[in-house]
Copies of this chain bind each other. A is one copy, B any other.
Amino acid sequence: MKNQILKKSIDLFDDKGFKETTIQDIVDQLDVTKGTFYYYFNSKQEVLRDIHLEYIEGLLQEQEEILQNQTLSNKEKLYENIYLTLSKIDTQGKEARIVHRELRHLHEDHVKQIKLKRKEYRLNFEKIIDEGKKTREFSNHIRTDILAFGFLGMTNYSYYWFRTDGELTDKELARFYTEIILKGIEEVPVKEGI
């Protein structure tokens, strides 16, 4: 039942917005009483916190698998991590939209908790860049922190414009972003004087 409440809340929060959804709306959809709701959650905000937590913890877990995968180069890890973020637009679109829109409706303590986990995700991303610098896959002249922010900005912004039913897949987009940053876009002159 807890999962059903979460699932239905995700539908409603995405559709109507968190503030506009009442506990009554949630239990009506599930055909249960408010008592059932309060058996699992103390408030609507607790449901929102759980949606946030499940989302970021899922990301962290998959990111950990990428980090630990010793068959991948750091370039491949960078691509995989970017793809991981983008793939959620397709596989967890509703949750993704909710966590991008509804952070400020959480209690202060929960905001802190979520922000710490988001920071962990960013710092793990930095680990890949730092490792790649050590192995000389990446150049040392770019600051790791700025690069990580830049990457996360690119990918997070995609939630606003990228549609998985368009001409471009999330895999292709991840490849484009990785390529842009790895290769740069400056035209390299073929030969002096040509």
Contact = CB atoms under 8 A, between A and B. Distances in A.
A15 to B, nearest CB: 14
Interface string A14-38: 0000000000000000000000000
A147 B187 CA distance: 15
B179 A181 contact: no
A1 interface: no
A79 interface: no
A161 B176 CA distance: 25
Interface of A: 75, 136-139, 142-143, 146-147, 149-150, 152-158, 161-162, 168, 173, 176-177, 179-188
A183 B186 contact: yes
B138 A149 contact: no
8 contacts: A138-B186, A146-B177, A149-B157, A153-B157, A157-B157, A181-B181, A182-B186, A184-B186
Contacts of A137: 186-187
- Nearest first, the 10 closest Cβ-Cβ pairs linking A and B are A153-B157, A184-B184, A153-B154, A183-B184, A150-B154, A182-B186, A153-B153, A139-B187, A138-B185, A136-B187
